[in-house]
Amino acid sequence: MRNQTPVSATRYESNNIESHLIEKRVFNPPEAFSSKADIPSFEQYQKLYRKSIGNPEEFWGEQASELLVWHKKWKTVLDWKEPFARWFVGGTLNVSENCLDRHLSGSRRNQAALIWEGEPGDKRTLTYQQLHREVCKFANVLKRNQVKKGDRVIIYMPMCPEAAIAMLACARLGIIHSVVFGGFSAAAIKDRVLDSQAKMVITADGGYRRGAIVPLKRNVDEALKDDEHVKKVVVFRRVGNQVTIREGRDVWWHREMEYVDANCEPVPVDSEDPLYILYTSGSTGKPKGVLHTSAGYLLQAALTTKYVFDIKEGDIYWCTADVGWVTGHSYVVYGPLCIGATAFMYEGAPNWPEPDRFWKLIEEYGITIFYTAPTAIRAFVRWGDEHPQRHDLSSLRLLGTVGEPINPEAWMWYHKVIGGGRCPIVDTWWQTETGSIMITPLPGATPTKPGSATLPFFGIDAAVVDDQGKEVPPNVGGKLVIRKPWPSMLRTIWGDEKRYKKQYWSEFKGMYFTGDGARRDKDGYFWIVGRIDDVLNVAGHRLGTSEIESALVSHLDVAEAAVVGRPDEMKGQAVVAFVTLKQPKKPTPELRETLREHVAEVISAIAKPDDIRFTDALPKTRSGKIMRRLLKEVASSGQVTGDTTTLEDYSVLAKLSGDGKESAS
């Protein structure tokens, strides 16, 4: 902790991407940490990085031999025909074998793989041997129920070990899983079942959240009302609530497990066989099914877990993400288990029954590495220092964040109050599409600056470019791109190759476009500004504005809707909806509440607009495009100062930004 100077606010602007903060504080990795770390110095990082970028195929090839267990070795590390990559061509392996079987021959067999606590306080530990046994048995349940390699299975579960068991059992047989976040509604499950043509849904009777029961099975029943694809629903009994069992389709997890034995050979799959589909929001239309394949994905997830979290024997590592998000896939399940770590899992809310639940868990379990989201950190700040201060957090040695830019002040709070000033913080930038961490400090090597994800991981060629694809000079804003393929990149969008090409590879030739704005400072550090497409980042979750608009318009009373984001201290961005009603419907506070609930029902409570403004008309260009830029200004500041020359009807704007208070009630 040397070389600290305070922040100074400077403003610069380029390509409509603005950043207002120049952060001058620098935190060097503590000596005590570096001396034991895998990458112990900045020089070593630079040396290895240069080597990895000089010859990425050699680098990834070496790592793949060292880190993964293969059935058949690959012939070619990378076959790249833009925008389609095939990694470790000709190789075969099994992902669940890499996460489980390989650890069974020595003492790791009896080490905890997963340590879990439910929201009500129930506890379970599964050693590698026990987890292996459960996965083998459940894979046999899948077989018994006629799902096979290449089939799709939806997993809609609470955060409990069975969610991971279901994922790994699918992987054992080459079945493609698609986890749907337990907070999503029936409509979201339905869409995903349809898009993936899933044959099976694995769910639970319910899950606990803030003391209440989330009726997971009921949501599945509603989603499958008119469905013809799903042949079987496996129900894990988590809470014991009443559920309807449909004869012939629904089976109980615990009953099925009684019929099977614990022997199940892993099925070798091709490096490029799909591992999972995970749906994420895009700027237009329905959610995109991001497809990840087997070897490359696992390799990068495992390698980043090893280097970024610097996991050692005896560590207890806790990533707070739900398995419904990509972070839960890569850093609760696949990465940690592949390298033989002990991962902690918690089912419920951070403030249940009290706002100190996380700190209590850290103290009780002696958590050493803690990885969470900036939105959670901001909530902790607001709840008050007394909650962490009531607990002994001295077991912690490393902290991490992911999901959105972290404000420097939240970073400082995390550093001081949670990390006791001694823990490095890894601010990791990546996306559902990238599969694993791409830009990040290495905790024993990289000096950190609060708010910056710092530098690219090995083998990752990240850059900030202008609209022509030319790299911009230091401290000039631009678009964040990746200039070389990487092993855990998405391979396509499920069933929509055209959208894959258009979304990621059409902006610039030869570069993957992330959709994020960023700048690099004079030290080459990346500062991510946020999304530049029509995607909001609400509490670390990506939401497509068009999805929320469609949800609003699906309500009988709504004629048209435009959704924009407004900066929000807690959630990063808040959802603001401008809604025009069908004649002769009149706006009322009740209708506003109904519409908010309607969005929660159609998508998820996360997508609920914070603010709904009724208006007679939306500002449009002459060609009929809604001018979101203006709405964004109205939503954030109540006024419009930007260019309005293309606006079709000026009176609309006047009404929205003040004069029209009565119509925009």
Distance between CA atoms of residues 653 and 243, nearest Å = 51
134-to-100, 107, 139, 274, 426 alpha-carbon distances in Å? 11, 19, 8, 23, 33
- Does residue 530 belong to the site contacting ligand PRX (CB under 6 A)? yes
Mask of contacts with ligand PRX, 628-657, x by CB under 6 A?
------------------------------
Least CB distance to ligand PRX at residue 99 (A): 20
- Does residue 405 belong to the site contacting ligand PRX (CB under 6 A)? yes
- Beta carbon nearer to ligand PRX, 327 or 368: 327
Distance between CA atoms of residues 601 and 611, nearest Å = 17
Tell me the three state secondary structure of residue 254.
Answer: helix
3-class SS letters over 46-104: HHHHHHHHHCHHHHHHHHHHHHCCCCECCCEEEEEECCEEEEEECCEECHHHHHCHHHC
Number of residues that bind ligand PRX (CB under 6 A): 22
Q: Which of 427, 534, 547, 549 binds ligand PRX (CB under 6 A)?
A: 427
Mask of contacts with ligand PRX, 476-515, x by CB under 6 A?
--------------------------------------xx
Least CB distance to ligand PRX at residue 613 (A): 26
Structure tokens at 609: 């607009």
- Does residue 430 belong to the site contacting ligand PRX (CB under 6 A)? yes
- Beta carbon nearer to ligand PRX, 346 or 430: 430
Region near ligand PRX per CB under 6 A, out of 70-78, 217-225, 231-239, 430-438: 430-438
Least CB distance to ligand PRX at residue 433 (A): 7
Least CB distance to ligand PRX at residue 291 (A): 14
**Contact predicate 562/652, CB 8 Å:** no
Region near ligand PRX per CB under 6 A, out of 238-246, 349-357, 413-421, 528-536: 528-536
Scan for tokens 């419009």, then name that residue: 640
Q: Which of 92, 98, 372, 432 binds ligand PRX (CB under 6 A)?
A: 432
Distance between CA atoms of residues 68 and 234, nearest Å = 31
Cβ neighbours of residue 644 closer than 8 Å, sequence gap 6 or more: 630, 650, 653
- Beta carbon nearer to ligand PRX, 193 or 528: 528
3-class SS letters over 265-305: CCCCEECCCEEEEEEECCCCCCCEEEEEECHHHHHHHHHHH
- Beta carbon nearer to ligand PRX, 40 or 540: 540
Q: Which of 151, 221, 363, 516 binds ligand PRX (CB under 6 A)?
A: 516
Read off φ and ψ for residue 583, nearest 5 degrees: -65, 145
Least CB distance to ligand PRX at residue 23 (A): 13
- Beta carbon nearer to ligand PRX, 63 or 327: 327
Q: Which of 282, 403, 435, 485 binds ligand PRX (CB under 6 A)?
A: 403
**What burial letters (b/e) apply to 572-592, b meaning 16+ CB within 10 Å?**
bbbbbbbbbbeeeeebeeebb
Region near ligand PRX per CB under 6 A, out of 92-100, 234-242, 423-431, 461-469: 423-431
Find the residue with minimal CB distance to ligand PRX. 432
- Does residue 431 belong to the site contacting ligand PRX (CB under 6 A)? yes
- Does residue 280 belong to the site contacting ligand PRX (CB under 6 A)? yes
Using CB under 6 A as the binding rule, the residues of this chain from 148 to 207 that contact ligand PRX are none
**Contact predicate 604/613, CB 8 Å:** no
- Beta carbon nearer to ligand PRX, 88 or 181: 181
126-to-117, 165, 485 alpha-carbon distances in Å? 12, 11, 36
Other C-beta atoms within 10 Å of 18: how many? 13
Q: Which of 428, 446, 545, 615 binds ligand PRX (CB under 6 A)?
A: 428
Mask of contacts with ligand PRX, 383-402, x by CB under 6 A?
-------------------x
Q: Which of 134, 310, 404, 547 binds ligand PRX (CB under 6 A)?
A: 404
212-214 and 207-209 beta bridge pairing: antiparallel
- Beta carbon nearer to ligand PRX, 300 or 327: 327
Q: Which of 453, 536, 607, 635 binds ligand PRX (CB under 6 A)?
A: 453
Region near ligand PRX per CB under 6 A, out of 34-42, 388-396, 525-533, 549-557: 525-533
Region near ligand PRX per CB under 6 A, out of 136-144, 267-275, 403-411, 607-615: 403-411
Least CB distance to ligand PRX at residue 437 (A): 8
Distance between CA atoms of residues 129 and 113, nearest Å = 9
**Contact predicate 548/282, CB 8 Å:** no
Read off φ and ψ for residue 413, nearest 5 degrees: -65, -45
Count of CA atoms in the C-beta half-sphere (13 A) of 63:
29
**Residue whose C-alpha is closest to residue 171's, from 99, 115, 237:** 99
**Residue whose C-alpha is closest to residue 575's, from 540, 551, 614, 543:** 543
- Does residue 320 belong to the site contacting ligand PRX (CB under 6 A)? no
- Does residue 537 belong to the site contacting ligand PRX (CB under 6 A)? yes
What number of H helices and E strands is found in the chain? 21, 32
Q: Which of 103, 177, 286, 542 binds ligand PRX (CB under 6 A)?
A: 542
**Contact predicate 617/548, CB 8 Å:** no
**Residue whose C-alpha is closest to residue 105's, from 342, 340, 341, 344:** 340
Q: Which of 171, 528, 574, 635 binds ligand PRX (CB under 6 A)?
A: 528
Q: Residue 39 class from Cβ within 10 Å (0-12 exposed, 13-18 middle, 19+ buried)?
A: buried
Q: Which of 531, 592, 620, 632 binds ligand PRX (CB under 6 A)?
A: 531
- Does residue 424 belong to the site contacting ligand PRX (CB under 6 A)? no
- Does residue 91 belong to the site contacting ligand PRX (CB under 6 A)? no
- Please give the residue ranges that form the binding site for ligand PRX (CB under 6 A): 280, 326-327, 402-405, 427-432, 453, 514-516, 528, 530-531, 537, 542
